[in-house]
Amino acid sequence: MTQPTIAFIGAGNMAGSLINGLISDGYDPACIVASDPNAAARAAMTRRLGVRTTADNASAADADVVVLAVKPQMLQGVAREIAPVVQRRRPLVLSIAAGIREDALEDWLGGGVALVRTMPNTPAMIGAGATVLHAGCGVTDAQRDSAESILRSVGLTRWVDDEGLLDAVTALSGSGPAYFFLVMEAMEAAAIDLGIPRETARLLTLQTALGAARMAIESDEEPATLRRRVTSPGGTTERAVGVFEDGGLRELFGRALTAARDRSVELSRLLGGG
């Protein structure tokens, strides 16, 4: 069976990660095209992944699926550029641009578009991403499956029924890797202050983070239960957790995610997303 043709408008890191994931899952590189104005980016993608590239967004968009993988501030111009092709071809359109709402994209693309908006995160670059998707009203079940298969090639996928939740998703999984990097940074610095050699402090911090994440993923228990299991009464862990609790860690995370969610809403308005 012939595979649907997929066009990536933009040949940056996220597009490259998705293309690599698709090919690793068995997708034919001959069915994938990527457009980008940067000749070096195009050459690197062709060399690394074997897909066809072009500088012409409109010619690339003549495909069954179009993935909008450009920076949010560039999306309006790109969308209007490819709108005539989209109106003629009627592809499934996936947007991975943060903050651009579906009604704005619909307008820029000429209306009547089968549109799926997605919010991936940077661990998608190593096949460990977390992506949330929202389907517009014109998307069929088959197109939902197609969209999910593309994003699932780089990690976990989940759907939401309310597009507005993508702002909260941005605050959680979109920005979330930075929160964990900050915790790792703080733990490593504290360990060094306690006298642990820098390289050892880093390796122990990273392996502890990896091990805790794997335990949480592979367990049916909630994180609170796992935490209690490693917190012996009167022990060292209880003392450390008590410091975090007394310092208002939970409230701080609540404020941080709320601030990120609110900023996502603000950026959507600034970028013309309503």
* Strands of the 92-95 sheet, one edge to the other: 52-54, 32-35, 6-9, 65-68, 92-95, 114-119, 129-135, 155-159
> What is residue 106's predicted lDDT score, i.e. its pLDDT?
94
Q: Average the pLDDT over 124-153 and give the result.
A: 95
Output the pLDDT for position 115: 97
Please state the rounded mean pLDDT for residues 93-101.
92
pLDDT > 70? residue 22:
yes
Whether the per-residue pLDDT at 107 is higher than 90: the answer is: yes
40-63 average pLDDT score: 95
C-alpha to C-alpha distance for 261 and 265, rounded to whole angstroms: 6
Is residue 259 a part of any domain in this protein?
Answer: yes
Residues in the chain, how many? 274
| pLDDT of res. 269 | 87
Angstrom distance (rounded) from CA 271 to CA 163: 16
Question: Where a domain ends, among 112, 142, 166?
Answer: 166
Asked whether residue 139 falls in the same domain as residue 254, the answer is: no
What band does 154 get if pLDDT is binned at 50, 70 and 90? Answer: very high
Residues 123 and 212 in one domain: no
Q: Find the CATH number of the domain harbouring 71.
A: 3.40.50.720
Q: Tell me, what's the pLDDT at 98?
A: 85
Taking 80 as the threshold, does the pLDDT of residue 274 lie above it?
Answer: no
Strands 52-54 and 65-68, by their bridges, are unpaired
Q: Is residue 200 in a domain?
A: yes
- pLDDT for residue 248: 97
User: Does one domain contain both 72 and 115?
Assistant: yes
CB atoms within 10 A of CB 2: 7
DSSP H or E stretch at residue 18: helix 13-24
Q: Give the residue from 119, 148, 166 where a domain finishes.
A: 166
Quickly count helices (H) and strands (E) in the chain. 12, 8
Cα separation, 143 vs 91, whole angstroms? 9
pLDDT at 152 exceeding the cut of 70:
yes
183 and 94 within one domain: no
Residue 128 in domain: yes
> pLDDT tens, 222-231?
999 999 999 9
CATH number of the domain encompassing residue 260: 1.10.3730.10
Region of residue 88 (phi > 0: left; psi between -120 and 50: alpha; otherwise: beta): alpha
pLDDT, the chain, mean: 95
Residues 141 and 207 in one domain: no
Which of the 8 DSSP states describes residue 122? G
pLDDT tens by residue, 173-203: 999 999 999 999 999 999 999 999 999 999 9
Question: For the chain, what is the domain count?
Answer: 2
The Cα–Cα gap between 163 and 170 comes to 12
Could you tell me if 28 and 48 lie in one domain?
Answer: yes
Q: Grade residue 10 by pLDDT with cuts at 50, 70 and 90.
A: very high
Distance CA 274, CA 269 (A): 5
d(C-alpha 149, C-alpha 26), whole Å: 12
One domain, residues 182 and 95? no
> Which among 166, 197, 212 is the end of a domain?
166
Residue span of the structural domain in which 66 resides: 6-166
Decide which of 102 and 270 is more confident.
102
Q: Tokens 């560039």, residue?
A: 74
**What pLDDT shows up at residue 1?**
61
Q: What share of the chain has pLDDT > 70, as a percent?
A: 99
- pLDDT classification of 2: cutoffs 50, 70, 90: confident
20 and 79 inside one domain: yes
Return the closest-CA partner of residue 70 out of 106, 46, 37: 37
pLDDT at 74 (0 to 100): 92
Q: What's the CA gap between 177 and 120, in Å, rounded?
A: 11
